[in-house]
Every structure is written in structure tokens, then in C-alpha cells.
Structure 1
């Protein structure tokens, strides 16, 4: 699988926070088209939820978060035993003590209120994430942008990681919103880094964005993020000293708390290797070396993209990489495919070329799980193709292949951009 080179380019690269005169309005015609498509997609999604509630809105993970909140209130440990059932590696709490404190308000939610908070809360955060992405693309932050973000979020409900996050009531869209909103702030803002620090204080993988801030020389924002992260650790320690000791003394680095790495739904590099060659002994070193190499290449490409004004694709690459190199990444962890689709769609609409359209189509097919659920939500994704064949190896790791293809597209595009910037030879 490959993504066309020009899918990483833009006609007028915006900076992370362009000044207002540089911002552009979304064309009225595009607003109407997107609004109609988004309304149809959103209404059809709601129809499927009503028809198959136990498939598309069971909120199992949100219920587990609620149990974690109950344990905090009752003074019981959240790490000693699984939150649900007795099987190790199933329904164990894998977030920080600070995250458990954030789940305490869920204790008082019951019945339909619980369902509405889970569903509409995630949709509202997805809409906010779209707003942040569009802002990073240089669009004018006005009422029209707010209104168009809603139908775009409706379209993104058919991105498989978003759809699964909604179904499980997962926290991933919340983390996506925090990081995107933070990266959309101007570098001069004293608040830049705060939301990234909070995100890392909830789940450790967003801490990779601190490294991104460092390599792009936004040192104040990086220090702010580190300081806020440290504050979340101290808050957790003060409120839950025993659990904090358990988590930071080893529980945070134990991937078995999530499950076996060869699980077909583990869409990370470690999952890919576990399903093909295993992850014991030398294979464990191979995974670590591969993860380090992918992270290093990502930071190199993201730095160059950011310094040349392509902030959103740079941030998206970092987000995808955090998921790719994580020891365990469920499908719903890949919500960074949502802003990728926003970027590619914007590019395809403005360039109106076959290459960018093909790139968008490839990304849509991969991110939607083969658009199977659009026709029948009870059907499996293409990533559930039976194991034991070369096709299964390809399909089970579709997100990894897409990420690596985007690396290649970014590298070639940056090289082409640098070549075009060279002065013409003297005659």
C-alpha cells in the first residue's frame, strides 16, 4: 500500500498559528456540500446505533472507568485486581492515578444520562478536535468554522477508530482533543504545553509530543508540558499514595496488563511482530529497535514539516507514531487517523487532482476498516480477516502500513520542496 507523494503537500502551507489576515474562510459551496454529506452520515450513524445499541454504543470501557471512580471513592486499589472480572490482562486499569481521579464524576451517572454523556460527550470532543485541525490549516476561526466542524465530525463517525471509541466510551478522543488544541495554540502563548502535559498525565503515550516540541525548538512549551505532567503525578501521589507507588514502580511498564501482544486487534508494531515471528528473546530486541527507528524517523520528518509550515501533517505523523510504537494499541487508539482524513480531504478539495484524490480514497478505505460497517454494523472489519495467510498479515496491520507509507510520502515531498526552492542555474 502506498500513499501518493503529493498527499503530504499543500498549496499554501500554513504555520501553526497564522495571523488573522492570513486566515481564509471556508467557501460557501464547500460548506453546503460538507453539511449535506455530514448530516446524511450522522443521521445514518444514529440510525445504526438505535438498531444495534449493543454493538455501537455499549460503553463497556466507560463503565470500567466508572468502576475505577467507585474504587477511588471507596479507597480501594485500582491496580491490584482487574476492574471487571478476575482474568489478568482483561479490564485492568492501565492509566495513571491522576486519570482515575478524573473518572470520579462518572460515579453519579446512571441510566440514559450515562449513555448520553458517553455518546454526546465524545462527539462534542471530536467536533472540538476538528476545529483545532481546521485552525491549524489556516481557516478563519469564526461561526462558519464552528458550524462546519459538526458535519465533518459526523463524517468522521465512519472512521473505524472513532467509531470504536464511541462504542466503548473510550478516552482516546479526549486525548486527541487536548493535544490538537495545544498544538493549535501560537508558539508565543504561555499556555502552550499545558494540555499536552495533562494528556501525558492521563496516558503516557502523549508524552512523545514533548519530544516533538523539543526537536522543533519550542522549549518553553516543552518545559511547561513537563511541569504540568509532574503536577499530575504529584496530584495522584497526594490523593492515592499506594496506587501511585504501584503504578510508577512498574505497573505502567507492564504490557501484559492490557493483553497478549499477538491479539489480532493489537494494531501496533509489537502486535505485527508478535503475530509473525513472536516477541520473545531476540525478537523483543527487534521490536525495540524498530520502534526506536520509527520514532526517530518520525521526529526528523515532523521537524522538517513543522519548520516549513506544515504543522498539521507534522502533528498527525507524531500522533500516528505514538500509536504505532506503543506496546499495545487497540483499533480505537488510532483516532489520529481522523485529523489525517481532515488534512487529506482539505488537500484534495484545494488541489483537485487525481493523485490527491486517490491518496484520500486509500486513507478512507484503511481508516474505515474497509467501509464494511457502513453497510452492516454487525459485520467484522477487514482487520478481522482470519489469520494464517499473507493477506491476513497485510490486513491485520493496515494502520502500520499506512503510517509507513505516509513517512515515505513526507520524505519525498520534502525533498521535492527543497529542490524546487533551489535557485535556477545561471545561464
Structure 2
């Protein structure tokens, strides 16, 4: 565990330089780097790295909503998929209600609204994440956030979210606003963001773990209450669909695609590749889920006790990816804050080692784990590893266990990050009341 040291000297010098520039130069330097980086990333992502998915998932939502508006059950909609044979609408009814305005317009209009919304949501997430680790000079926020947002779309989960027209960054933003904005302000509405995310898609329910570990009892109740209220509101609009989803479809995980697909980067996906064509053992998967929940609980508790909210919420997100029955690459957006945490830890650690004046090697030793994660993460998340390694979409018959393990490289990186992701110790005065209680309990001292 490292202790954060915020040294404003470099920031102050940069701030002075920025303030001295003419206003026109500041405007150009705010917008041009972000646009240039964005265009470069687009060219790299869609001409070098992998295929352009042409908002395939967004098209499913669009067609399913039109199918629903025509008087059909939205969960009866299905269309051909080159990998999974057939795909349909799989989100809870609230998501369908929120998407229902799509029925009144064209797909071109839906794309014109959704794609900028995804990019803006990513920028908002980047801003909230960077504020936890970086002091951005006043006036340079647009430039810094714009460039980092562009670079973030080099990561496969971010790239796929935009390419498929997925909703994952919207859900991530709801969680971050809850934890890093509302909770910091002591708002009584803390938990609403997580609750809404849970009602739109089930997997964000893992963030109740963070609220419980950090002893934010009221926020946990608000999250549950919001999820239930939003679901009941959707049931008023779509009662039959709500009943069908929560009594039947909820338990049919194969509706989202083949569990053994190379794209499934959960623990269950690895098991499915080994047991194919038979389904993976529910008992084995359940045992692994329990082990991961215990490990995740311990790491999240450690981060909460240190006051490192960003690490705590990131670790929670990584646990959710690992234990979910299905985790496609575009679900793993929590790799973004993980990479920011790793990168900032390396930079601070190297600078501290160089400035120490003593032997550098011993001070660099704790950075080996984060450095390995960053180096491997550049490869694993910078490319589609299935394409790079020439692995099949689904059928691993005759390829052997090494191929099956190679097909789970993103999952193994996520698993390693769960144990290696650095936790930064913030000054005790900066901890929230709930974090201080956890810290006190961990250290065996009286509660404040």
C-alpha cells in the first residue's frame, strides 16, 4: 500500500504557463489535442486493430423496440448473429421502457444521438477518475480530459462499447456519480445511481458489495429502494414483460450467446470452454464465485480502510466481471480506472525512487506487479487477443487446453488485477466517516 503525496509545484508552474497564454491559444490548445488524438485513435482502432462492429447491438435494441411497438413481446424478438446464431433483447423491462422512444425515429437518428452520448459519458467518467489521482491545472480540463478520453478508446472494452453501441459507459457513469460525487457531498440521494444501474441491467448489483463493506447502510437501502421502485414503474408500462423476465428469462443465461464463446471473459466462460459441448458445472462455478467474493471483500475492505474510494469501486467492478455468468469484453469498462490507478502508481513510484537519493532498486521493487499489469494490459486490452492469437469464436474442439487458456487472457488479467491493483493510503483527515469506521475496525482501535 502506498501513501499519496500531492506536490502542487509542477502543477503551479504549468498553471502559470497556461494563464500567460493568449485566450485564443488556450482555446486552440484545449480543443485541437483532443480532436487530433480522437481521430488518430479512430484510425488505429478501425484500420489496424480490429473490425468495426457498426453498432450491431444498438441495432438489436432499435429493431426489438420497433417489434415491441408493433404489439409483440419484446423478449420474443430475435435476429441472426454470425457467431451466436440468434440474439434477442436481454435487458430488464426498465431498459426497454427507456429505449422505447427509438420506435418513433430512424436508426440514423438513434446513432447520431447515442454515439456522441457514449463519448461524452466516457469523458465524464475520465474526469471523475482523473480527479482521484491527478491535479488538473485550472483551465486545462478540456484538453487533458479530451486527450485521455481519446486514448481510453484504445482499450478493447471502450472500443467495443462504442463499436457495438452498448450501454456500459452509461452504467459506469451512474455508479461513479453516486460514489465520487453524491457520497462525497453526503447527499441523502447516494445510492440512486447504483439503484438505477441495477434496474437497467442486473450486473451493477455487485456495487452493493462496496456500499456494505464501506458501511454506507442508508445508501445501500436507497440503492435497493431505487432499483425496486424503477422496476415497479416499468411494470406499470410493461406488466407481462416484467413478470416474464423476473420469473423465467432471468435464469436463462444462454439467451445472451454461447457461454463458451471466446468473448465470454468471466470465470464461467473459461469453465464453459473446457466442458464444451456440455454446460459448465454449476457447483464448480458457484465455489469459484464464493472464493472470488471473499477475496474481493478483503481487497475492497482494505481500499475502503485506506480511504482509496477509486480503488475500492474499481476492485468491486472487477469482481463483478469475474463472477458474472457472462462478461463480454465491452462489459469490462472497469479496466479504465484500473489502468489509471496502475499508471499513476508507477509514475509516482518512479519519481519518488529517483528523488529519494538512496538506492533506487529497493524502492522500485514494489512496482514490479503494477508494471507487469500495465505491460500485459497494453497487449491484452490494446488488441482483440482472439484475432491476434488466431483463436475461434466458439468451437475449441481439438485445440487443447493451452488454446482454451489463451482464450481467457483478458479474464486472467482481470483476476491478476483483483489481487495486484495498488491501494493508495490517503491522509486520515480525508477519509469519510464510514471509511474511518472501517479503518478503525481493521486496526483494532476504538471507532471515532
**Do 1:130 and 1:342's aligned partners in 2 also have CA atoms closer than 8 Å?**
no
Separation (CA, whole Å) in 1 of partners of 2:422 and 2:340: 20
Counterpart among 279, 286, 293 of residue 288 in structure 1:
286
Take 2:125 and 2:407, find their aligned partners in 1: how far apart are those partners? 27
Q: Which structure 2 residues correspond to residues 117-128 of structure 1 after superposition, within 5 A?
A: 117-128=113-124
Tell me, in whole angstroms, the C-alpha distance in 2 between the residues paired with 1:326 and 1:178.
20
8 Å CA contact 1:82–1:90 kept in 2: the answer is: yes
Q: Which residue of 2 aligns with 1:176?
A: 172
Q: 2:91 aligns with which of 85, 95, 98?
A: 95
Once the two structures are superposed, what CA deviation does each residue of 1:35-88 show, in whole Å capped at 9, x if it has no partner?
Answer: 998655422223357869x93250011111112322343332111342567998
Residue 285 of structure 1: CA displacement? 0.4
2:132 matches 1:132: no
C-alpha change, 1:116 and 1:363, in structure 2 (3 Å) is: farther
Deviation at 1:118, TM superposition (A): 3.2
**Are 1:272 and 2:264 an aligned pair?**
no
**Alpha carbons 1:160, 1:368 under 8 Å: kept:** no
Q: CA RMSD in A?
A: 3.8
Equivalent residues of 1:348, 1:357 under 8 A apart: no
- Is residue 244 from structure 1 mapped to residue 242 from structure 2 by the alignment? yes
Q: Residue 405 of structure 2 corresponds to which residue in structure 1?
A: 394
Which runs of 5 or more residues in structure 1 are unaligned? 1-8, 15-21, 374-378, 423-427
The question of whether the paired residues in 2 share the 8 Å contact of 1:159 and 1:368 is answered with no
CA–CA distance in 1 between the matches of 2:418 and 2:189?
Answer: 30
Report whether the alignment pairs 1:28 with 2:24.
no
Q: In the superposition, relative to structure 1, how do residues 155 and 230 fare at CA in structure 2: closer, same or farther (>3 Å)?
A: same
Q: Is 1:359 equivalent to 2:359 in the alignment?
A: no
1:321 pairs, out of 319, 322, 331, with: 319
Q: Cα offset for 1:384?
A: 5.1
**Residues 40 and 360 of structure 1: is their aligned pair in 2 closer, same or farther, counting only changes over 3 Å?**
farther
In structure 2, the residue matched to 1:18 is none
How far the C-alpha of 1:363 sits from its partner, in A, is 3.2
Residue by residue, what CA displacement relative to the aligned partner does 1:87-136 show, whole Å, maximum 9, x if unpaired?
Answer: 98732211100001111233344365443333322111111111121233
Structure-2 residue corresponding to 1:385? 391
Is it true that 1:165 corresponds to 2:161 in the alignment? yes
3-state DSSP of counterpart to 1:301: helix
CA distance in 2, matches of 1:135, 1:66: 36
TM-score of the pair, normalised by structure 2: 0.77
User: Given that residues 196 and 225 in structure 1 are in contact (C-alpha distance below 8 angstroms), is that contact kept between their aligned partners in structure 2?
Assistant: yes
**In 2, Cα distance between the equivalents of 1:274 and 1:112?**
37
Q: 2:57 aligns with which of 51, 58, 61?
A: 61
Contact 1:192 1:224 in 2 (8 A): yes
Structure number with greater CO (CA < 8 Å, separation at least 6) is 1
CA distance in 2, matches of 1:49, 1:370: 12
Q: What is the Cα deviation at residue 139 of structure 1?
A: 4.2
1:286-323 deviation per Cα after TM superposition (whole angstroms, max 9, x unaligned): 01110121022102210221121111111111111111
Contact 1:267/1:397, CA 8 A, preserved across alignment: yes
Q: How does 1:34-45 map to 2 (within 5 A)?
A: 40-45=36-41
Q: 2:209 is matched with which residue: 197, 208, 211?
A: 211
CA distance in 2, matches of 1:180, 1:126: 11
Q: TM-score, normalised by structure 1?
A: 0.80
What is the aligned partner in structure 2 of residue 300 from structure 1?
298
Aligned with 1:220: secondary structure?
helix
Aligned residues: 396
* 1:400 Cα deviation from its structure 2 partner: 2.2
SS in 2 for 1:55: coil
* Residue 149 in structure 1 maps to residue 135 in structure 2: no
Q: Counterpart of 2:359?
A: none
Partner of 1:4: none
- Residue 433 of structure 2 corresponds to which residue in structure 1? none
Asked if 1:407 corresponds to 2:418, the answer is yes
292 and 90 in structure 1: CA distance in 2 versus 1, 3 angstrom threshold: farther
Whole-Å separation in 2 of the counterparts to 1:56 and 1:281: 31
Match of 1:425 in 2: none
Query: Whole-Å Cα distance in 2 between the matches of residues 329 and 371 of structure 1?
Result: 18
Give the Cα–Cα distance (whole angstroms) in 2 for the partners of residues 301 and 269 of structure 1.
Answer: 19
| 1:415-426 matches, cutoff 5 A | none
In structure 2, how many angstroms separate the alpha carbons of the residues matched to 1:55 and 1:296?
A: 38
Bigger shift: 217-226 or 291-300?
A: 291-300
